[in-house]
Every structure is written in structure tokens, then in C-alpha cells.
Amino acid sequence: MNYSFCKTGDDYILSLANHCEIVSTLIQFCEQEGLEAAEITGLGAVSEATLRFLDPATKAYVDKKFEEQMEITNLTANLSRKDGKPYLHVHLSLGRRDYTLVGGHALCATINGACELFVRVIKGAHPQREFDPETGLNLYKF
Ligand code: FE
């Protein structure tokens, strides 16, 4: 297992294993626990991360890989479902050695140190997503 956790009511305190990839491991955790809706916050450190920026003009993501040790000054994510599968929307703010920040939509990131998360489960909610051609985003469909 790439993570360990304790449950507090409906919520979780979660620790991801060193050197694992954050987004895919979080999806694994959500699948394993049968979660459908949650708010996730966290901190930790990574050795590399690929961030994306959606260009509204082209409706296409521009990806950029950062290969350096960085602090996760903030991870914010929400969990929903798309096409019957867990869908995570993850944003990262990362602190560099010179104390400047990079940030954006997180495609993937590899832990180097720790990744400590708090998962607040939104009980009874079943949010779904659908692709929206106007924005190029997978938006909530209520
Ligand atoms: Fe995003």
C-alpha cells in the first residue's frame, strides 16, 4: 500500500508513502474507500511536478515539468465522478529553494519527503462531471 490513514468520523487523515506519485495514489485511495465527494487539503514536499495551465484562447492545457525539490505549500483538491470513475481536480502551490512559488493545476507530482493530507468527505453527495466544449473543462453537471 502506498498510503496509510486514520479515520475520524467520515473524514480521513492520510499520509502518502515517500517517492509515490500523488494524483494516482490519491485516486487509488478514493477508489479503495469508495468515496464519491470530498475536499482534500495537504502539504509535504516533492522532487518533481508537472503543472498545467489552461489557455482559454485555445482551450488547451500547456504542461510544464519542474524537476527540483519543492515544498508543497498547498495542495487543494476536490473529488467527484466522471464516466463512473473517481475524478480528482488537484491544484498545487510549490515553494522553491529560493522561496518563490510556482503553482497550477496538477497533472502529477512525485513525493520526496512526505505528503500529509486531510480528506473531508462530503456525505450523501454524488457530484458528476461532463466535458464542457465552451471552456474546454470537465465541469460539474448538477
Ligand atoms: Fe484546475
Asked if residues 118 and 9 have their Cβ atoms less than 8 Å apart, the reply is: no
Q: How far is the CA of 125 from the centre of ligand 1 (A)?
A: 21
Residues in the chain: 142
Neighbours of 44 (CB within 10 A): 21
Q: What is the DSSP string of 8-59?
A: ETTEEEEEEPTT-BHHHHHHHHHHHHT--SEEEEEEEEEEEEEEEEEETTTT
Angle at CA of residue 97, ends 95 and 100, nearest 5°: 45
HSE at residue 39, side-chain half, CA atoms within 13 A, is 3
Q: Classify residue 84 by its DSSP letter.
A: T
Domains of the chain, each with CATH number or no CATH: 1-73+88-98+109-122 (3.30.1330.80)
Q: Could you report the per-residue pLDDT of 12-31, keeping only the tens digit for each?
A: 999 999 999 999 999 999 99
What is the pTM assigned to this prediction? 0.95
| Cα maximum dimension of the chain | 44
Residue 1, pLDDT > 90, answer: no
Asked if residues 12 and 33 have their Cβ atoms less than 8 Å apart, the reply is: yes
Q: What average pLDDT does the structure give for the chain? A: 97
Residue 107, pLDDT > 90, answer: yes
Q: How far is the CA of 76 from the centre of ligand 1 (A)?
A: 10
By the CB criterion, residues less than 5 angstroms from ion ligand 1 are 105
